[in-house]
Structure 1
């Protein structure tokens, strides 16, 4: 009755105040500002600590979000007038709105400001694409000096804390853009827009002719470009003056000198640049091949990427007007067609740069969601309330995955799996990558019978070996194939690539295009084709590749838009970033409807906000086999995970291979480095949410990398087996992802928010609550610096030696071992040695308890492969350690499921300063207890 009366009062207030510049009902408050370009600003509580804000220069429409789920409950709130302002209050938050400008401020219940829009920071600029009207949109928020910002997806420029930085959000191979941020102030922002978006500075990077340019002779207006077409003879093909360095895409590379052979080339740009403004210039280097750049003889970047798959490097220079800065850019294309570009952003007011800003190319209105939490996990939990829960992945997915580009025959795939089993190397999943079809039948979903004579038999043999198989499925279809025609006759194929006769890279080149995943019926057809041709073979998982969509690699952004336009919903300009979300939706919903109850597993190269609800994991694309790219994966994976999507992986070892590794001889330095690179990457990859090896030749199976007696082989096998020993821990993290909206791969700021020293650390992270992972990413490094967060003591995982927190220390990192540290209070369940995830029941479990602080952990178990956990069929055993009492409590078991262990043994191993026990499987002595589901107290003494 009280709730009904509340809503009646709200409705009355809304009706009575409609003539005073605002209205309110049981759902939302709408303010009609007297000033500014927004005609209306709507504040709608999605939950008590989640607020939707919409602003329109026109009128609100009822177009549903592709990202945010429909609101499912009424959220009580009050509205009060406070002079110039209105104050909307829920049980957790206050939102203050200016009646004059519509500017919004978010406060806690004590009136302390959490975040506020900048006055005048909301802008709309009318625009039109393909006859459809819209707006360029921008919203600026004031950011406090002492916060750090994370999220935005996965980017490869070594940036961790996005406070004061810029990032362009679009989808590209190796780049996944998600318009969500989380702050160390325990709030988050989801920018609900699908078009190309810029975080930070809204301007695109400009050409270097924004500077005064001087060539090597001092003449103004250009740099000196020297084109050498044969590095062996140093033969100069041409020297010419150039005012831009812009060979970034297939359109601009047409400006290469006619007749120039780039296969053995080196090009150098050199001269002076003089800024027109004082301040910090932010440079963006777009590179493929071998690239070095110096400013005033200071090396700013030294990078490599394969010719066909460029990446970016960022650096900044504080510059003064009237001063010349010497620039030298040296580029070895390393291929016939390669890409290079150098651009910059001129200075902005530092006070503006530190703010939070989102700009999008096209939308009907500004839509964003503000959310808070007790901590950063709470913020991400609210993000998933908005956009969907992530599932518990099948247990086998937490095991080891072997892949290569590609298994060319059925015998290759089965032979590889047989070799793993023969050598007793644990494995759970083997992957069939692209081109298993006939050469001219891309999109047929049919195996080439000459190379794969019995696909069903192949899959059956994989299953007989207690493994699973994932298969690559592209949203790409060749012209003239049956599946192409099925889409095309319904208007569901993007036609521009066909009209322009674009041919792909498969010799001699075939014409095809991608289907429109935005069309609901097209998504259903895509799944129906998979369901008819591949699902009956027994495939366990789907690899949805090139879902940016990559219709034509290295096309300009404008041409990419043309290639995927129009979409079902409208111009691709407005829907540029959400293709992967739509594509995954069709497969997930189709298998949930038509499958046999098994958990859907999708691996996708692109991603967007909300992807986690469709059973997806994302990998970081076709990265390079270089230490630089390995290091870049650390902040890329952390920020992706902190964007609310918990399942991330990478090509361990890198995908694209430097030529020097392809034919490296035994005993050569190149082969030594190749082995060490793979070893270090493998160590790191064992502590990623998914443990997956993939790449081009040389083959990536550990027995192809090194022999059994080599330290590389020994180390990779050790970390493989360690991953399986930790399966009770790993799978419990999966359970926490669903039941507690947990994040597995965690920036240090998530767990040590009060320690500001961790905010910028981009080469350490927490994997769950128990492991601080410190990858080694330099050749021949045998130690590295590690920062130990304060207010905790730390244990060396391998030795049990204790280390106080709050200091940086150089630690040992021998070839075969990556530094791993465990915080006081951690509890780690360790299971038996396994060859595959479900080989044995996890009994007994060694339970390592790291003394020095209170701690807890939940051991999660369910039926491993189905969705019965959604119906409550799971069990949790809580572990709680009390430091004062020096006692572990194994609590009462909660829940049950078919096949559950009714009774089991725990070997409790207490680790302390005075009892430094390292990880020694099957050797650690502890206190053995029998557990039948009821509480047991285990004292340390």
Structure 2
């Protein structure tokens, strides 16, 4: 095998500094052709390939940006180096080794350490390379991102991980540093990531060259902005998506689903979404037929209409695979657009577990890399869209891949070998849905939940959920840093199955009894209080139904705790939807690791159990049991389906006093002061504090210098307009908040049809100014009332507002 390393002491010849190419250089060093191109003053693309390699300029499937046409960088050369400098970044290329180093304002940011190419000698990818790039980090430098690694850690230092999409872990090939730089490794193959004493390395199993983008954003927000500039912005989700979603594996009839919506309305428990999981299509041979073929769902269209009449929305399960008796399977097979890999479900008999392999399902994954296949997919999915389905639950977008063989990886898809494009699959399939729905209608925003994601997926109306996670405190603890790291790849929309997917180990008093088991009750409530801070707030799982009334009745502590959390979510909707606008318009994030805002406080660098929810709320979820003992067991995405017989463990039924007040210790970041949300007690930052907690209180703080709008509790997100908002001012610093409103759905906001109201708090003069309403949209409020209160005071001052600036002193 031919092996070319940048550490070889080969002579360097500058082939071209191309006077016409003012935004970069091409040169040869260490037997490599090196191309360095500035896409913007903050973003640089670097490619390296062995001399003599025949490579063609391929369009990235992720990068949507082109180099800025007016950009010009200064290029200088000495006997030992070539240097390029923009207004923000400087990159130096060592003439002898071909290694690059990056700096800003004279401050070193990152250095390459080695590049390696190993020729592949067999299979579909013969003649291509195993490619690796190693970088040198500072000893104590913290790094984040990569994807949803379920190891419970925030900082990626010391991580060794195979990069291949799966049910529980997903990868975006993006790393960012606490120093304010980021890297996107533009390669779609199965890979390996390692950070150790030798450096930080991306090693791809297939590539024609090393290809990466270096970004300098100065901080986490800035890096995310660079990522989205490079790979696409974040479209708005509808307002109703931020309400509460109920689901289970699975509603087995339309009657069962409708009963859930009806009961929420009768109980006056807020609800905006219901989800129909798999098998509404019938048996496994009809897998993912995208139609209501089951005898229990023959009234599918009427079911959807009933949901809508109840002022709720419906999401439905669709997959990346098809059963052999579906229409889609036939059309895809005819065009050789089905992959030969073994996938879920393995057996055609859906009612038996473990799978009866002597009755194979014949289900095959479609070739999502093919535009023809994506069109066939949508042509059949449009039937559900025309029925009125509001949103898509795209399951197994990893996709499930069982018993992999070398021949599977060698299989040639439309874009290349399965090995070479494996990790791109979730982006390819989601992109197809987004593009086609946008063509079909501008009246309904695309809302997709997907089980897997790749870089750039934020641009296609998609949010990730973290897969079939086990119902354990350990797994709850792991969701927090997983979501934060996912956000730090530029993808802001993350959620989990509230309560964990597999809760069967708590069914020790009969099947489906977990919601009456205090051990599970406490876990579920605390998971819900974490879920409160996720962009999508959704209860889902197998083994036992999770609707609020399964846990008891009103007046009982667990029921009341669940209800109060749901009601708080609806109170926060103006804050959440306004944050959503900042995500779309200003490249901000919902889930903000503390390093976003408090990077100067080194205590935050490794903190994966607290985070900012938007700019103002410090989420400090309780991630350990306080009332019961932790039930410890291990479950993965397959073993969870084994319906084991659980011993009839005796819990102290009725003996757990969930009304008892507890305490928890939380760290408050340095650089701000903090108000307890419920008591409004003020604390200095930079220290641990003891917080009084209860089962029905979400552990959270509000930053001093905050204007927080709160809506009245509604039964669904668009039950009424925000004509009577509470405005709570948390003094201690000046504050600004922009209230955003639009029609709640459709894409008119992209044409400027929305409004904003900027509110400013002057801490010195104790004055709140509510500015002029900017913008307009159909049906917008012309006048409203704001009920203003200063945190720590009971005095409420109402303000009549008619769209013109008004001030009040508190």
TM over 0.5: yes
Give the match's secondary structure for 1:436.
coil
| Structure 2 stretches lacking a partner, 5+ long | 1-11, 353-358, 628-661
Q: Tell me the distance in 2 between the aligned counterparts of 1:505 and 1:159.
A: 39
| Distance in 2, Cα, partners of 1:95 & 1:905 | 55
What is the match of residue 62 of structure 1?
57
Structure 1 residues 932 and 375, CA gap change in structure 2 (3 angstroms): farther
Alignment pair present for 1:544 and 2:394: yes
> What is the match of residue 456 of structure 1?
301
Equivalent position of 1:561 in the other structure: 409
Preserved CA contact (<8 Å) 1:404 1:699: yes
1:365 lines up with 2:209 in the alignment: yes
Is the Cα contact below 8 Å between 1:408 and 1:436 reproduced in 2?
Answer: yes
Verify the 8 A CA contact 1:664 1:671 in the aligned structure 2. Answer: no
Contact 2:591 2:612 in 1 (8 A): yes
Q: 2:100 aligns with which of 94, 100, 104?
A: 104
Q: Number of matched residues?
A: 753
**CA–CA separation in structure 1 for the residues paired with 2:735 and 2:580:** 19
Q: Does 1:839 align with 2:719?
A: yes
TM-score normalized by the length of structure 2 = 0.89
Distance, in Å, in 2 between the alignment partners of 1:425 and 1:558 is 52
User: Which secondary structure does the structure 2 equivalent of 1:157 belong to?
Assistant: coil
2:765 counterpart of 1:772: no
Q: Deviation of residue 18 (structure 1)?
A: 9.4
Alpha-carbon distance in 2 for matches of 1:101, 1:847: 60
Q: Of the candidates 74, 77, 95, which is equivalent to residue 78 of structure 1?
A: 74
User: Partners in 1 of 2:17 and 2:457 — Cα distance?
Assistant: 36
Give, in angstroms, the shift of residue 497 of structure 1: 4.4
Q: Residues 32 and 99 of structure 1 are in contact (CA less than 8 Å); yes or no, is this contact kept in structure 2?
A: no
Task: Name the residue aligned to 2:136.
Answer: 142
Higher mean alpha-carbon deviation, 364-373 vs 129-138, is at 129-138
CA distance in 1, matches of 2:315, 2:448: 9
State whether structure 2 residue 154 is matched by structure 1 residue 160: yes
The aligned counterpart of 1:675 is: 521
| Cα distance change, pair 190–675 in 1 and its aligned pair in 2 (3 A) | same
Question: Contact 2:513/2:544 (CA < 8 Å) preserved in 1?
Answer: no
Query: Cα offset for 1:144?
Result: 1.8
Q: Is the 8 A contact 2:503 2:514 kept in 1?
A: no
Query: Take 2:719 and 2:515, find their aligned partners in 1: how far apart are those partners?
Result: 40
* Range that drifts further, 593-602 or 433-442: 593-602
Q: Which residue in the other structure is 2:86 paired with? A: 90
**Shift of residue 557 of structure 1?**
7.5
Deviation readout 1:602-648 (Å, 9 max, x if unpaired): 11000000111110011000001111111111111111111111111
**1:732 maps onto 2:581 in alignment:** no
The residue aligned with 2:115 is 122
Change (3 A) 1:794 1:404: same
Structure 1 residues 449, 115: CA separation in 2 closer, same or farther (over 3 Å shift)? closer
1:21/1:99 contact within 8 Å kept: no
State the SS of the aligned residue for 2:120.
Answer: strand
Query: Is the 8 Å Cα contact of residues 341 and 401 (structure 2) preserved in structure 1?
Result: no
Q: Please state whether the residue corresponding to 1:734 is helix, strand or coil.
A: helix
Secondary structure of 1:194's counterpart equals coil
Which whole-Å CA distance do the structure 2 matches of 1:384 and 1:61 have between them? Answer: 26
- Structure-2 residue corresponding to 1:707: 553
Residues 27, 45 of structure 1: 8 Å contact kept: no
Change in Cα spacing, 1:710 to 1:55, as seen in structure 2 (3 Å) is same
Change (3 A) 1:103 1:437: same
1:191–1:367 Cα contact (<8 Å) kept: yes
- 1:750 aligned counterpart, secondary structure: helix
SS at 2:265 equivalent: helix
Once the two structures are superposed, the pairs formed by residues 482-631 of structure 1 within 5 Å of their partners are 482-497=327-342, 503=347, 506=350, 507=352, 509-531=360-382, 533-552=383-402, 555-556=403-404, 558=406, 561=409, 565-631=411-477
SS of the residue 1:721 aligns to: helix
Aligned pair 1:875/2:725, yes or no? no
Q: Cα–Cα, structure 1 residues 668 and 86, in superposed 2: closer, same or farther, change >3 Å?
A: closer
| Alignment partners' CA distance in 1, 2:760 and 2:405 | 53
TM-score w.r.t. the length of structure 1 is 0.77
Deviation, 1:770, is 1.6
**Does the 8 Å CA contact 1:129/1:573 hold for their aligned counterparts?**
no
Supply the distance in 1 between the matched residues of 2:233 and 2:405 (Cα, whole angstroms): 32
Helix, strand or coil at the partner of 2:574? helix
Pick closer, same or farther for the CA change 1:697–1:164 going to 2, 3 Å.
closer
Distance across 1 between alignment mates of 2:252 and 2:425: 29
Shift of 1:822: 0.9
In structure 2, the CA distance between the partners of 1:933 and 1:520, relative to structure 1 (3 Å rule), is: same
Aligned counterparts of 1:714 and 1:117: Cα–Cα separation in 2: 55
- Shift of residue 937, structure 1, vs aligned partner: 2.5
Compute the displacement of 1:431 (Å). Answer: 0.3
Structure 2 residue corresponding to 1:935, chosen from 784, 805, 808:
805
Aligned ranges 1:298-309 → 2 under 5 Å: none
2:248 aligns with one of 404, 411, 421: 404
**Which residue does 1:270 correspond to in 2?**
none
Moved more, 50-59 or 394-403: 50-59
- 2:314 corresponds, among 461, 469, 491, to 469
Q: Judge conservation of contact 1:46–1:71 (CA < 8 Å) in 2.
A: yes
How many angstroms does 1:762 deviate by?
A: 1.2
Give the number of the structure whose alpha-carbon radius of gyration is greater: 1
Partners of 1:518 and 1:526 lie apart in 2 by 12
1:894 and 2:774 aligned = yes
CA distance in 1, matches of 2:341, 2:516: 44
In structure 1, distance between residues paired with 2:514 and 2:774: 57
> Could you tell me how far 1:551 is from its partner in structure 2?
4.2
Deviates more, 1:772-781 or 1:835-844: 772-781
Could you say what the CA RMSD is over the residues aligned between the two structures, in angstroms?
A: 2.2
Q: Are the structure 2 counterparts of residues 670 and 778 from structure 1 closer, same or farther at C-alpha, using a change threshold of 3 Å? A: farther
Structure 2 residue 223 is matched with structure 1 residue 379: yes
CA shift, 1:874, in A, is: 1.3
Aligned 1:854-869 pairs, distance under 5 A: 854-869=734-749
SS in 1 for 2:603: helix
Closer/same/farther in 2, CA of residues 541 and 501 from structure 1, 3 Å limit: closer
Aligned partners of 1:734, 1:828: CA distance in 2, in Å? 15
8 Å contact from structure 2 (residues 15, 26) kept in 1: no
**SS state at 1:578 partner:** helix
Structure 1 residue 884, shift from structure 2 partner: 2.5
Equivalent position of 2:40 in the other structure = 47
Alpha-carbon deviation of 1:873?
1.1
**Matches of 1:801 and 1:719 in 2, distance apart?**
21
Distance 1:650 1:442, change over 3 A: same
8 Å Cα contact 2:147/2:170 also seen in 1: yes
Say which SS state the counterpart of residue 419 (structure 2) adopts: coil
Secondary structure of the residue aligned to 1:200 is strand
Change in 2 beyond 3 A, CA 1:152/1:454: same
| 1:496–1:730 CA distance, 2 compared to 1 (3 A) | closer
Distance across 2 between alignment mates of 1:477 and 1:706 = 40
- For structure 1, the residue ranges without an aligned partner over 5 or more in a row are 1-16, 202-347, 918-923
Q: Secondary structure at the match of 2:789?
A: strand
**1:635 & 1:662 partners in 2: Cα distance?**
31
Tell me how far apart the structure 2 counterparts of residues 525 and 861 of structure 1 sit (CA, whole Å): 37
- Tell me by how many angstroms 1:503 deviates: 3.7
Instruction: Report if the CA contact (8 A) 2:171-2:453 is conserved.
Output: yes
Structure 1 SS opposite 2:296: coil
Q: Does structure 2 retain, via aligned residues, the 8 Å contact 1:371–1:379?
A: yes
**3-state SS in 2 of match to 1:674:** helix
In structure 2, the residue matched to 1:113 is: 108
Measure the CA separation in 2 of the matches of 1:871 and 1:151: 33
